[in-house]
Chain A
């Protein structure tokens, strides 16, 4: 019973913005949207998370639709080092997190030189 749906793979040219979509149509009001990435079998790395509002940090921006049923992770100027598998995850807000993160297969983003 997948909570999120992501395309299996995407390509992006180096220096361009990479836009990774995620559908989470069954998200509930108390669930955050998280993004992690995994570079070549290393441990997953946190990128960003949000609840309702759009968020930005030094790595990326997260755009959440008004109905919260989908979101987009934006890497503004992709580099070759951004080639990785990107995971979109929903997680309860209050009292949550104890049972861990549910990882799907994610999106394999390939940055082309």
Chain B
């Protein structure tokens, strides 16, 4: 049982490049989330999904896209990377309902230069 797995762990992008951050969970969770965390700050929600085929915007969605074709996978796409997207990205998953815990991956540290 691996939990939530994120790849890659580190990446350096040049301005204008694109990339996909991968996230997979093996707990059969309906809900999945993408957060970003800037230095010294709390996590901010980028996008979330309540099930395969359903996604919605969080607090800071601009510059990102997501898809959810399966229950297990929730990739985050960065188009035209900008220095403002330098951050640590966390993926999480949970069962539905407010009385359940969320499980987080170990993060992807992205630097845009």
Contact = CB atoms under 8 A, between A and B. Distances in A.
Same complex: yes
Interface of A: 30-32, 34, 41-46, 49, 51, 87, 91-106
A41 B42 CA distance: 11
16 contacts: A31-B98, A46-B102, A49-B101, A51-B99, A92-B98, A93-B97, A94-B98, A95-B98, A97-B94, A97-B102, A99-B45, A100-B35, A100-B48, A100-B102, A101-B92, A101-B102
Contacts of B112: none
Q: Which 3 A-B pairs have the closest CB atoms?
A: A43-B104, A103-B42, A96-B98
Contacts, number: 80
Interface string B68-106: 000000000000000000001010101011111111111
A97 B31 contact: yes
Contacts of A34: 101
Interface of B: 4, 31, 33, 35, 37, 40-45, 48, 50, 56, 58, 88, 90, 92, 94, 96-107
Main secondary structure of the interface of A (DSSP, over half): loop
Given A41-B107, A87-B42, A46 B101 contact: yes
Contacts of A42: 106-107
A13 to B, nearest CB: 25
B25 to A, nearest CB: 12
A51 B100 CA distance: 12
Contacts of B92: 43-44, 100-101
Contacts of A91: 98
B98 A43 contact: no
Contacts of A98: 31, 48, 50, 56, 96
A29 B90 CA distance: 30
